[in-house]
Amino acid sequence: MTAVLLLRLAAPLQSWGALARFDRRDTQLRPTKSAVVGLVAAALGLDRADDLGPLAHLRFATRADRPGAAVRDFHIVGGGTHVLRPRDLITDHRRATKAANALEEASGATFGHLPAQAVTRWYGAPKEIAPDPSLGTLLAGNTTRDSMMTTRWYLADAAFVAALQHPDRALLDRIGHAVEHPARLLWLGRKSCPPTGTLSGGVHTGTLETVLNTTALLPNATTTRPWAWIEASSSTHGTAQTRDQPVTFHPERRTHAPRWETRTRLTPEPIIEWDIIP
């Protein structure tokens, strides 16, 4: 007999991105399976390189009790000039050459005091420092010092119910305990989005469909008929494909596979209530 673990995902900010470049990071309008499985793996203390084991076989759903609002966080990073530091000149010979005249003409304190005005378009520190293949000395692989514009999207004031189904109830009990006593820090999509209050809603007998239909709305719900996205087989009528099935979180070969889900509105008839510490 299958069982379902309920998770309450609420925070001032959440971000469930599918695109994660530095200068532009998006968010989907609901939690992704990859991110929730990653949260569970962190709670259990798994390393990114570890095999996901039974976590890869969890059936997933999410219900948007409080969808929240999309907000954009816009930054201009860098610009201006910074003081010279020995490390910057040692690892970046081009900048050292440009700064040579300023260093020769300087009097008194230099490093940590002398602005790098002679080094045009320079801010911050050299990036991607590694040994030179032929010389063995440390050199910067990235010496660009241009200002950068970054855009990052979040969901503000949102609250979701995530549900994980598996035939092994003991596994779900262990996950439910772990999210309340995590081995590693937890966040809702990104490190700047820690969850608030109680996460675990307990383990309940049934399927994703039956449990979500009998679970009370979260206290701050903004709708009585929330949308729900429920994982299904590819042959189920009305399914749509999404590519957020985690295969591995290994930092050098992170991989996701496609899965299928249905979208439907639910009108819960509450049997399962929430006991939440905000």
pLDDT, tens digit (0-9, with 9 covering 90-100), for 104-139? 766 666 665 555 555 544 555 566 777 877 777 777
Provide the H-helix boundaries in 161-252.
Answer: 169-180, 208-213
Determine how β-strand 240-248 pairs with β-strand 255-265.
antiparallel
Average the pLDDT over each of 12-21, 33-42, 210-219, 260-269 and give the range with the smallest value: 12-21
- The highest-confidence range among 16-20, 100-104, 123-127, by mean pLDDT, is 16-20
Q: Work out the pLDDT band at 99, boundaries 50, 70, 90.
A: confident
pLDDT at 25: 84
Going by pLDDT thresholds of 50, 70 and 90, the confidence category of residue 1 is confident
Is 186 in contact with 195 (CB distance < 8 Å)? yes
Amino acid identity, residue 256? H
Q: What is the pTM for the complete model shown?
A: 0.80
196: DSSP letter:
-
Helix, strand, coil percentages (3-state) for the chain, rounded to 5, are: 20, 35, 45
Q: Quick check: helix, strand or coil at residue 44?
A: helix
Please state which of the ranges 9-13, 25-29, 97-101 shows the lowest mean pLDDT: 97-101
Residue 73 pLDDT greater than 60, yes or no = yes
Q: Which residues pair with 204 in a beta bridge?
A: 4
Q: What is the mean pLDDT of residues 181-199?
A: 96
143-172 pLDDT, tens digit per residue, is 565 667 888 999 999 999 999 999 999 999
Q: Alpha-carbon distance 10 to 37, whole Å?
A: 16
Residues β-bridged to residue 127: 142
All residues at 6 or more sequence positions from 54 whose CB lies less than 8 Å from its CB, including other chains: 166, 168, 171
- Host H or E run for residue 98: helix 93-105
Indicate whether 92 pLDDT > 80: no
